[in-house]
Amino acid sequence: MGQRSGCQERSKKPELALSETMEAETEVRNNDEETKEAKAKNQRLISVFGVADLKNEAIGLYNLGLSCCLNSLLQVFLMNIHFTGILRRIAVPSSHVQRKNSVPYQMLLLLEKMQCGKCKAVSPTDLACCLSLHRVKLFVQHDAAQLFLTLWNLLKKQMKKPELVEELRDLYTICIQEHLACQKCSFEVKSNSTMLTLPLPVLDANSHRLKTLEESLQYFFHPEELTGQNMCFCQQCGRKTTFLQSMKLVRLPQTLTLHLKRFCFERSSHSRKLSHCLPFPQELDFNEVLTENQCQADDSEKATWQYELFAVVAHSGSSSCGHYCAYIRSLTECKWYCFNDSHVCQVSWDDVKCTYGHASLYWYANISLFFPDAALDFGMRVAKRGKTNVLAWILPGV
């Protein structure tokens, strides 16, 4: 018995040595796989980075003739790593005619041209011609909010892969719940709707100026009493009554669009631009701005409602004419750049603050778009006050 036992012990020694060797080889193999995985991840990151995030020189876009609005919007689209991540996975149209008519494909070609080119600026001619086939006129001054909506709808319509369309919706659409409550009885109507932008006022109902972006947001979600000609028909009362209208925030997207309505209509039916100062922060937490009654979301959803400013598209001029440019923050360098058609230069935060608006300043910010980044695949986590995962975009209006 003892000898048999000793033989068994001696037989285990080479097995242990073999086991240790296999573990060492497995560890080396795992390290190699981790290295390969890290390299693959870096390649994935590079493949979805925006134009200024390849650590090449930022590329401008030539003005084709009143195309400054289109150029500014394209720069912000293509600098958004989540948008370019979707764009790079589109199905390439099979025929030449289809490729010529495809807005997503032409936008992808422009992105590749900007990333691979050696020039300081490239021409968006092919994309502009493609847009003209879809009734987007060339050589006319566009409104940025309207053109943004047009571009988004064309992208959504022409992306053939359902999963990419869904990702595009998740990236940009806002979910709001509207409440209408009769003030004479308990009758109430609730309805959910989606929006591409939140149209924020810069004046209150008494034409008093709202002083900050946060104040404008609070006013947008403040309940409004519908009286006089605005009364609604109550099914329970059987007649028109005073209703209380309110909106509650249900869901915010990765790319949140806030449209500052910097215009008003006078008695002559002509619009007038409102260029007074309205500061916006570099960081914005909706949980600190809105009350519990203005939100209809659970805690996990609210945890992503933190934003950091990513870009500003600014407008100079009157309500009928002017010029657009874009201020964009590089995601990798954390530096601000001004994209003024073909001219691109690095700027400071003080330069960006000029878009707050003031009668004596040249640039006026009129629309704001905010981009939260919840893509954990890119190593970005939701952090307190949105230090890493939330981006913001501010755009102009008329």
Catalytic residues: 68, 323
Alpha helices in 118-205 (DSSP H): 125-132, 144-158, 162-172
Q: How far is CA 189 from CA 92, 178, 244, in A?
A: 45, 8, 11
| Identity of the amino acid at 126 | D
- β-partners of residue 364 are 315
Buried b (16+ CB within 10 A) or exposed e, 123-135: bbebbbebbeeee
Q: Cα angle vertex 50, ends 45, 56, to 5°?
A: 95
SS (H, E, C) 244-289: EEEEEEEECCCCEEEEEECEEECCCCCEEECCCCCCCCCEEEHHHH
Residue 260: alpha-carbon gap to chain centroid: 15
235, 240, 242, 248 alpha-carbon torsion, rounded to 10°: 50
Q: Cα angle vertex 291, ends 287, 295, to 5°?
A: 75
DSSP 290: S
DSSP string, 200-218: EESB-TTSPBP-SHHHHHH
| Identity of the amino acid at 290 | L
DSSP string, 8-34: HHHHHHHHHHHHHHHHHHHHHHHHHHH
> CA-CA distance, 326 to 313, in Å (whole number)?
4
* Pairing status of strand 390-394 against strand 311-317: parallel
Q: How far is CA 243 from CA 234, 237, 247, 294, 377, in A?
A: 9, 12, 13, 17, 46
Residue 389 phi, psi dihedral angles, 5° rounding: -105, 0
Residue 364: alpha-carbon gap to chain centroid: 20
